[in-house]
Structure formats: structure tokens, C-alpha cells
Amino acid sequence: MGILNLTPDSFYEGSRVSQEGKLILETAEKMISEGADFLDIGGYSTRPGAVDIPAEEEILRVAPAIELIKKEFPEILISIDTFRSEVAKAAIGSGADVINDISAGDLDPEMLNTVSKLKVPYIAMHMKGTPQTMQNYSGYSDMLPEILKYFAEKLDQFRKLGIKDVILDPGFGFAKTKEQNFDLLRDLKCFKVMGFPLLIGVSRKSMIYKTLQISPSEALNGTTALNMFALLQGANILRVHDVKEAKETVTLFEQLYP
């Protein structure tokens, strides 16, 4: 899953794409040619302390871009990275195929009903608080059982609403300290008990660049190392800024475990 951010303030500068149609299509084409199965399009930065923007602005950023990409590359799957039901609805109407929600329905009471009505696949991520406050919510009495319980309750809620096509994302960097992120990655296999595909997003995140004392722009090697570990632990989808390198990692993994 290639990350295509239509935001001016995403934490990794290299992932930011201008609103200009030509640049959007060039970025999409590059990721698709490098082997992306999905493009994850977002118009709201969820980095720690990100600026809150109105839903109308988010829609204006993502809907035209989705239409443009789908027209040019109709075969590519597009996920809309949003926690707002109205943005999700507009994006699916513009041609998106999947809803990727960092809050698993917690930040918008209408989101799960919207997913149920639209009958599209749903990526549910674990987070506490909001993008503006999540760093204050990294306290857990026992993190792994708490996250597993959270997902078990969510999956029960999804079943009751008829939401069956679900992908789980443990939420690296969201309401978790650097150390907790590594604990989570180390125990990733525990989530396989849920019986749903796992999406992992560690690409160029602070758990890598702070540990290595480098910048996000220098964190590709560390990302590749952790992506391979995630695949060994049962990850099904890698959400990445660098598609070519991630695709090579997957190819080598599949050669090791055909």
C-alpha cells in the first residue's frame, strides 16, 4: 500500500504531494509501476499534534484526486485514509474502494453505519485520543491484552452491523511510546488469533528514526528491516512511502516462504 498524502504537513516531507493533477498522476503512476496493490490517499495529517482541518477542506483535497487517479488507472485499488464519515462517503463516491480509519469508528459516530451502508472493506486501526492528543494516552496497564480486547469488541460491533470485510491495523505510533511500538511489533503474531488480515504501517516513523538518531528522510533502511520482521510475524499488507523497496522485501520474503 503506497502512501499518497495530499497534505502540506505530513511528518515525512517526501510523501507530500501537491494538489496539481499532473504531480498526483505522476506519483500514482510511479507507485503503481513499482508494484503497489493499493494507493492510500489522505487529506488530513495524523502526525502527532497535526492541525485540525474542516471536513469540507479534506473532501476538496481527496475527492478530485481519487477521480483523477481512477480515470487514469481504473485497475488500482484506492483506500481513503479518513476518520470522518462524510469524507469517506465522498471518497467512495469518487471511486475509492476501501475506507482506512485510524479511529476504528471512535471519532465519528456515523462512520460504522456509513461503512455498513456502502458495503466496502474497512481498515480499523487502534488509537486512543485524537491525532492532536494521542501522545498523552500511551499509558496501559497491559498493552497487548488491552489492544486485543479493543479489537475483539470492535469486531463484535462490526458483525452486528454486517461489516464483514475487515483489515486490522495495530496503530504503530498512535498512543504508543517508542518502546511500546517495538513491544507491539515483537508480539504481532498474537493478532493472528483474530482471523483477519493485518496491515502494518511503520514506514519512516519515529520508532525508527529516533532509535537510530536520524531524520525521517534517512529512515528507509530501518523501514525495510522492520517490514521484513513484520512479514515474518504475519503481516499481510505493508503501508509504505517507498513502494519499490517494500515490493522487493515482499518478493524476497515469498522466496523464503513460498
CA distances from 40 to 69, 161, 215, 257 (A): 12, 25, 23, 27
CA 69, chain centre distance (Å): 19
HSE toward the beta carbon, residue 255, CA cutoff 13 A: 7
Strand 38-42 and strand 122-125: pairing? unpaired
| Cβ atoms of residues 41 and 61 within 8 Å | no
In angstroms, the CA 229 to CA 107 distance is 31
**239: annotated active-site residue:** yes
The one catalytic residue among 61, 70, 154, 205: 205
User: In degrees rounded to 5, what are phi and psi of residue 145?
Assistant: -60, -35
Q: What angle do CA 96, 25, 84 make, to 5 degrees?
A: 30
Query: Around 81, how many Cα atoms within 13 Å sit in the side-chain half-sphere?
Result: 22
Active site residue 186: no
Among the options 47, 239, 244, 247, which is catalytic?
239
CA distance 26 to 39: 13
> What is the C-alpha separation between 41 and 170, in angstroms, rounded?
19
Give the residue numbers marked as catalytic. 205, 239
